[in-house]
Structures are given as C-alpha cells and as structure tokens.
C-alpha cells in the first residue's frame, strides 16, 4: 500500500486550526487502512484533544458495532470513547426509531443488527440469512428463494455492506418491498466502492444497495454521509457549532459534501480514495 505523508504533523495539529472547536474524522482511508494506522494520525488526534478540541469519528461503515470501532481505535493508540463514534448503522437505527419502525429486515452484518436491536427495533435476516441450505449445505436454489415466507409487519429493509450477500437475500428483500408499499428501503450509505487494505478499490454497500433498488423497483433513503440528518444528529448530540467544526475525510462525494452542505470547514486528505488530480465539484470549497 502506498504510504502517504503524516495526516497532520503532531506539532502542527493545533496551530493549523486555532479557531476550530471540533473535528469530525472519517476513519478508513484517513486514520487507518485495514489494521494499519495512518502515520501521524494518533499523535495528531491526541494533540487536538490536549488543546481542548473535540474529536469525533464519523464513518459510513455499518458492518461493525461502534464498540468494535472504538476497540480498533484503541488498538491503534487513538482516542477510543465509544460515545464519540458515529457509524451509518447508528444513523439507520436513529432514523427508524424516529419513524416508529419496530421491525426491519437486514441485508448486512451482525453489527448492523445489533445497533438496530439496541434502538428497540427487531432485526430480521442478517449475515446468515439464505446463505446455505440447512439440509444440503448448498446455496438455496432460485425456486427456494422465490418461495421464502415473508415476515409480517416489516417496516423497513435496511441495506449495508454484506460480504455474504446472496441471490436469496436479494430476492427476499425485494419481495418484502414489493409486497408492502409502506415498507421503507433504507441504505446505510451509497458508497459504490471502498479502499481495501491492499489499496485495491472494491465494491461497497452502495453496490449491494443498487441491486436491491433494481430488484424491488424502489429508491432508497440514504442515512449515512453525506445526508444532513446524520450530521444534524451528531451536532445536536454534542452541542457543536457548525461554524467552528471541521470535517476531515478522503472522499469528495461523501466526506467533503457532508461538511460543505452542513456549513462545516472541510479538510481533504489524499491517503484514501481521492487522488491529487481529482476534479472538485462546482460549488464545493
């Protein structure tokens, strides 16, 4: 994996933004790649905290519970307060809770299901749903997928990253959405790709969500970055002023748009998805 310069030299971490009170950091591609911390990131985060700055972590990942996210930060020598960790799974749970949804079918991982459960939402489906036939150990046939029994009173289908995504999951989620127009389609994020630990760009949650959208004929509501309901919840939870808050990220389409649309200062790093010669969208600062 190509090595980038330190995120911010520790000695400059505070002096570069003396008037800013809080920093929202994207994680993958900014603070770490896989299990490897970005050079200088831990030192910069601790320097900001020592200067009285608020440091929060905002990721579009929905595959792991925020407590696991905090544990990863801890292992890399970074601040690890779980209350400062915001995932798109947490955003999805908040979105459904505010709309009175009590039962949801999950295309995603146990971490996403756990976040929903902690918000009082029964999570159906999940990682092992329709992966292997219980009797044969094979993938379910298309006929079995088409004949799966649909659960009642499902208020939403929630789609996140799912390494065990199958045709059976796609068929079941699509059938639930086609059977009941009141069942909402919610995407944790629309990221088409993400940077793997080896530097390769790989399909992400947005690619899976696109399949469900096509299969169901429905358009999803996205709750992760750059959606502003996610940002407003973070600002309200922490009493932050947008004018003195900075969004730090590696993606123009999510991180920078997230901050720009919300009136935050933005800082783009080139250690992740965006390359130096990338075209900045019109109107984005």
| Residue 255 is labelled as binding a ligand | no
| Residue 261 is labelled as binding a ligand | no
Q: Which of 26, 162, 191, 255 is catalytic?
A: 26
CB 118 within 8 A of CB 110: no
| Residue 53 is labelled as binding a ligand | no
| Distance (Å, whole) CA 225 – CA 207 | 16
CB 249 within 8 A of CB 273: no
CB 98 within 8 A of CB 155: no
Whether 28 sits among the annotated catalytic residues: the reply is yes
> Burial, 155: exposed, middle or buried (Cβ in 10 Å; 0-12, 13-18, 19+)?
buried
- Nearest by Cα to 122 from 147, 97, 159, 98: 97
Q: Which of 28, 162, 191, 255 is catalytic?
A: 28
Task: Name beta bridge partners: 123.
Answer: 104
Q: In the Cβ-directed half-sphere of 245, how many Cα atoms lie within 13 Å? A: 25
- Nearest by Cα to 100 from 121, 123, 126, 124: 121
| Residue 250 is labelled as binding a ligand | yes
Whether 253 sits among the annotated catalytic residues: the reply is no
The binding site comprises: 26, 28, 225, 250
The binding site for substrate comprises: 225
Positions annotated as catalytic residues are 26, 28
The binding site for Mg(2+) comprises: 26, 28, 250
């Amino acid at each position: 994996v190509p090595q980038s310069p330190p995120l911010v030299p520790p000695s400059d971490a505070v002096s570069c933004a003396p008037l800013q009170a809080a920093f929202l950091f994207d994680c993958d591609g900014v603070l770490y790649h896989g299990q490897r911390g970005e050079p200088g990131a831990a030192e910069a985060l601790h320097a900001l905290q020592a200067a009285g700055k608020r440091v929060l972590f905002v990721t579009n990942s929905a595959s792991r519970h925020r407590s696991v996210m905090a544990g990863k930060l801890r292992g890399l020598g970074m601040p690890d307060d779980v209350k400062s960790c915001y995932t798109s799974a947490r955003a999805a749970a908040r979105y459904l809770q505010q709309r009175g949804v009590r039962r949801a079918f999950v295309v995603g991982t146990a971490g996403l299901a756990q976040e929903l459960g902690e918000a009082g939402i029964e999570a159906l489906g999940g990682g092992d749903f329709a992966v292997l036939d219980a009797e044969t150990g094979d993938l379910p046939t298309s006929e079995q997928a088409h004949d799966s029994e649909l659960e009642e009173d499902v208020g939403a289908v929630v789609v996140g990253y799912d390494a065990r995504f199958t045709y059976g999951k796609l068929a079941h989620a699509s059938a639930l959405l086609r059977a009941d127009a009141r069942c909402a389609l919610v995407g944790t994020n629309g990221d088409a790709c993400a940077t793997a630990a080896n530097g390769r760009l790989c399909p992400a949650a947005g690619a899976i969500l696109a399949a469900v959208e096509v299969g169901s004929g429905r358009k999803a509501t996205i709750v992760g970055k750059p959606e502003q309901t996610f940002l407003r919840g973070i600002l309200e939870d922490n009493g932050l002023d947008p004018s003195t808050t900075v969004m730090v990220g590696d993606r123009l389409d999510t991180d920078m748009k997230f901050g720009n649309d919300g009136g935050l200062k933005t800082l783009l790093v080139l250690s992740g998805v965006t390359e130096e010669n990338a075209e900045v969208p019109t109107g984005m600062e």
